[in-house]
Structure formats: structure tokens, C-alpha cells
Amino acid sequence: MTLARYRPHLATMLALTLPLTGSHLARMAIGVTDTVMIGWYGVDELAAVVLATSFFFVLFMLGSGFGIGVMGLLATAVARGDETEVRRATRMALWLSALYAALILPVLWFSGAIMLAMGQKPEIAAHVQDYLRIMCFAMAPALWGLTLNSFLAALGRPNIVMLVVVAGIPLNIVLNWMLIFGHFGAPELGVQGAAIASLTINLAQFVALAVFAVWLPEARPYQLFRRMWNPDWAALRAIAVLGMPVGLTLVAETGMFAGTNVLMGWFGAQELAAHGIALQLSSIAFMLHLGLANAVTIRIGTLHGRNDREGMRLAGHTAIGVSIFFAAFTIAVFLTASEPLAALYLDAGDPQTPAIVALVGGLMVYAALFQLADGQQVIALGMLRGLQDTRRPMVYAVVAYWLIGLPAAWLLAFPLGVGPGGLWLGLLFGLGCAAVLLMRRFWGGFMRDWTLPAQTR
């Protein structure tokens, strides 16, 4: 009887998790194809695109809080049948995304000077600027697409999002082949060709999502783009207050990982290469937890809209259990297949390959332990976002990632002499602290006392 109470939550969350995870993996696949194909073109171009996409990604994460943060609010409003609230919240998230894209455009436009100030070579900085002067116009449609992702997912149609994103993979490959290398009669544009391809994909995906947001039977009653130009200042302020902490939380986590990249580089090129491989394998596995976190945001938001405290408790337990199952599966894979997985990234004929594969094997032990903490902290964030609680979690994230995780990584790796594995132990410690603080926030506050954060009242 007890297990039967969890089945509806399990079925609902898996129905949301699988397409949302597929969407995240498809976006990663698009990024991987960009990197691989520009790598075929030239080493300087590859280095520039890696820098440019990292720079763009950090700024995108900061602005993504509006589109991600609104997800729980939309789920609550949909559950309450409040069509007006759904429309005004989504519209103002789109407005804020456009405003943010306009504000950071000069940063992307003059990125060459920023790269030079960071010590990059002039030719690399020039390529970075060439790429970002095109991609700066992709920021708005990328953020708009993220907002429409949340809207469609809140309506129970995340499968549409996955189909749109997956369809972009072959289109991206074809456009890269044409524009980077000059095939099929197109000009050979190199880095600029890769940027034009990415801009085209982002625009096409936004247009496709916008069409579905208007055309789908579930979406039609909301008349999402009706009087889109009319401001709603109260909703604008509410979404800004809700979304900015989400963006800052994401940047705090991204920054912690970027910091470990720098620290790992102090050991040497082989260690950094092994770290990069282990981190990307962990990131792929993390997509399962991220998709589940998005699903639990929608589920908690929906149950909150119905004022169903018991349902929220069961949904939270279900999400935690599924995350532990995902972690156990990836731990088994990482511990038994680390070397074959690492070999996929390396040239078998390179004399450095055996040493790097061995280093990856050592790091994957830490990466396996890392899965459980990483999964639990993002699930806790997902549950809290379902209640539109974002400000306190932002503080917890900054403390856990920057005041605990990164200093612990440095301390273990260098003064205490643990070596490269010490950096991963530091990450594990930081994410573990975040998981404890965030879970305590949800279970010790809202579920025990039923005291909702001020911004949800």
C-alpha cells in the first residue's frame, strides 16, 4: 500500500524526466559537434571557440535564471487554472531575457579586448571576437527558447522541447560542414561559419517552440503572445526577483568547476586533459539528475498549486529515490568502464594516451562518489524552485561552492599533497555541503512547518 502511494508521482516524474533529459543531452550533442568540427579546421580556431563558447555559456547561465526560475511558478499557476498568471509570467520572463541580452551585448561585442586583458594571444582573441560578434545576437533567442521550454514543460509537453532540440543536431552538422569548410557552394568562413550555424540553430529552435506555444491545444487557451508589447511591471519585478538568484546560483556552480580547471592546469597538460575527460563524462551523467530536477520543480509547483502538502512530500521522496538509483547506475559504469570511456576521447596512436587513460581511471573513482552529492543538491534546488524559493538557496550555493568547495579543493590538492584527486574531493565536499543545506531548507522548513518563502505568498 505504501509503495502504491508513490507510483503516480514516479510515473509522472519519469514522463517529464526522460524528454527533459533528452533535451539536455541533445544540447550537449550540439556543443560537442561544434567543438569537434571546428577542431578539424584548425588548432587556433579550436582554442578560440572553446574560449568563446565558455565565455558565452557563463553569460547565458547568468541570464537563464528568468527562464528556469519561472518554471515552478508556471506549474503552480497551471494547477490553479490561472491562465492570466501563466501568460503574464511567461511574457515578462521573455521581456527580461530580451533586456538582459541587450545589456550584455557590448560585453560580447568587445570580447577581443577582454581576451587580451586575460592574457590570450592576439590571434586567438581576434577569433574569439569574430565568433562572439555573431553569437551575441543568439543570446536573446536562446534565452527566449529556455522560457518557452519552461512554459511547455509546465503544460506537460516536454516531449515537444526534446523533438525541437534533437532536430537541431543534424541541421547544425550540415550548416557547420557548409559554413566552416566552404562545402556545397558556401563560402569558407571558419570560426565565423560556426557562429552563423549556431545562431541559425538558436533562431530556428525559438521559432519552432513559439509556433508550438501558440498552436498546441494545451497552449491555445493561454494566448501567450496576446498584447505581448504591453508591460506588466508587477509581474516583471516578481520574475526578476525570482530569476536573478537562479542565474547567480548557476554561475556560482559553473565558476567552481571553472576554478578547478585552472587549478588542475597547475599539475600539467596530461592531468588537465584527464580532468576534462572525467568532467565531461560526469556532466553527461549529470543530465539525468538535471532532467529529474526540472521534473520535480514542475511536480512540486503543481502540487503547491493544489495545496497538496502530502503529495509534495511523496514527490520529494520519489525524486530523491530516483536520483539515488541514477547515481548507483552511473557509479557502477564509472568504476567498471572508465578506461574504455576515456579511450573514446583520445588518439590510440598518441604516446601520451596510456598515461592520460590511467589518470582518468584514477579520477573516475572520485567522479563516481561525486554523482550522489551532485544529484542530491540539484534535486533539492529543483524542489525549492517548485516553491519559487530562490534567494536563500543562492546564498547556500555561494557558500558551499566558493567558500567551502573550491578552497577545500586547493587545500587537499596542494598543501595536503593529495594531488589531482584532491581537487575532486574538494568538489565532492562543496556539493555535499550544498546538498545538506538545501535539503534541510526544504524538509526542515517548508515540509515540517509548512512555512513558504515570502516571495510565494
Cα distance between residue 296 and residue 380, in whole Å: 9
Give the pLDDT of residue 94: 95
Burial zone of 347 (CB within 10 Å; 0-12 exposed, 13-18 middle, 19+ buried): exposed
Contact 435, 323 (CB under 8 A): no
Contact 200, 142 (CB under 8 A): no
57 Cβ contact partners less than 8 Å away, ≥ 6 residues apart:
254
Q: How confident is the model at residue 226 (pLDDT cuts 50, 70, 90)?
A: confident
Q: What is the mean pLDDT of residues 255-282?
A: 79
Cα distance between residue 293 and residue 305, in whole Å: 18
* 13-57 confidence digits (pLDDT tens): 888 888 888 888 887 777 777 777 777 777 677 777 777 887 888
* CA quadruple 180, 26, 213, 378: dihedral, nearest 10: -130
285 Cβ contact partners less than 8 Å away, ≥ 6 residues apart:
326, 330, 333, 334, 371
* 139-191 confidence digits (pLDDT tens): 999 999 989 998 998 898 888 888 898 888 899 899 999 998 898 888 888 88
Q: What is the mean pLDDT of residues 213-230?
A: 86
Left (φ > 0), alpha (ψ -120 to 50) or beta: where does 14 sit? alpha
The radius of gyration computed from the CA coordinates of the chain, to the nearest angstrom, equals 22
252 Cβ contact partners less than 8 Å away, ≥ 6 residues apart:
394, 397, 398, 401, 402
Number of residues that make up the chain:
457
Give the pLDDT of residue 453: 47
Q: How confident is the model at residue 2 (pLDDT cuts 50, 70, 90)?
A: low
Contact 376, 323 (CB under 8 A): yes
Burial zone of 453 (CB within 10 Å; 0-12 exposed, 13-18 middle, 19+ buried): middle
Domain boundaries in the chain? 17-231, 242-449
pTM: 0.84
Give the pLDDT of residue 26: 81
Output DSSP code: residue 345: T
Cα distance between residue 139 and residue 127, in whole Å: 19
* 303-321 confidence digits (pLDDT tens): 988 888 888 899 999 999 9
